[in-house]
Structure 1
Amino acid sequence: MTPPCRPLVEMPLRVRYHECDGQGIVFNAHYLAYVDMASFEVEKALFGSHEAFLATGIDVVVAESNLRYRAPCRYDDDLVVSVFLTHLGTTSMIYEAEIRRGGKLTTEAKIRYVFIDPVTLRKTEPPAAVRDAYAAHLPAPTAS
């Protein structure tokens, strides 16, 4: 992953005992939950709250997710989940996330969200104000 320099959010969290499996490491599905929690922090940073985001007349759903595990996390580890916007399409966007423990990369995630109309649940283009709020955080194009 080659994220831009600045994440949209950096969310600290501490691994709770019940998130660990019989091997004493974080159960794989919890990493996706950590990234999902951080995505709500993005909405809070860009729009003030999840409710304010919904008030724009749009919502998002996960269309695709991919996780790459690089090192295990364990009970009571202090982690930081960083979220980067790497793509903004007509009806979707892609977040890339990194989970770090003490600066060491433990997990990489790539999540594609689709914008939907909350009433019909069909994909739709976001309003201009929503698009602009996200677009301001896209990485600068690189010269070829």
Structure 2
Amino acid sequence: MAERNGPIVRMPLRVRYHECDQQGIVFHAHYLAYADMASFEVFKALFGSHAVLLERGVDVVVAESTVRYLAPCRFDDDLSVEPHVERLGTTSLALRYEIRRDGTLAAEVTNRYVWVDPEALRPTAPPGDVRDAFREFT
């Protein structure tokens, strides 16, 4: 059973050297990449793979991203990326990614996605069971 308001998955991640800036801290743009990596873990956990969504005639595109930087992460830190459903709309989905280091919230990424037809790239409502899979975490 899904954990209401809990993370959909917990993706472990170790900071690689090349992800750090000259100050030895993870370069800001990499947090968006971490969220993107975790989004595919969400699709895998809920549907088996992202390809299953495409076969169902639906995909997502990022419409908006925000990042809050709360504590620095450095080379070789073990992180956990935890996606939560922030909002579930008719043709949109907002996921909040909590990026934790040793249990401390280091960064928070929120992505607003729009469900689209993968061929036309026009907004569309996802199938009911796809929405229901995310609803389990609201």
Question: What TM bracket, shorter-length normalisation?
Answer: over 0.9
**What is aligned with 1:74?**
74
Cα distance in 2 for residues equivalent to 1:5 and 1:66:
20
**What is aligned with 1:100?**
100
Contact 1:35–1:97 at 8 Å: present in 2 too? yes
| Unmatched 5+ stretches in structure 1 | 139-144
**What is aligned with 1:15?**
15
* Runs of 4+ displaced beyond 3 Å: none
Cα distance in 2 for residues equivalent to 1:125 and 1:40:
20
| Unmatched 5+ stretches in structure 2 | none
Cα distance in 1 for residues equivalent to 2:6 and 2:105:
16
TM-score, normalised to structure 1's length? 0.90
Equivalenced residues, count = 135
Tell me how far 1:5 sits from its aligned partner: 4.4
TM-score, normalised to structure 2's length? 0.94
Structure 1 segment 14-93 matched on structure 2, within 5 A: 14-93=14-93
Aligned partner of residue 74 in structure 1, secondary structure = coil
Aligned partner of residue 45 in structure 1, secondary structure = helix
Cα distance in 2 for residues equivalent to 1:53 and 1:95:
17
Give the letter aligned to residue 79 of structure 1.
L
Contact 1:56–1:130 at 8 Å: present in 2 too? no
Backbone CA RMSD of aligned residues: 1.0
Tell me how far 1:133 sits from its aligned partner: 1.5
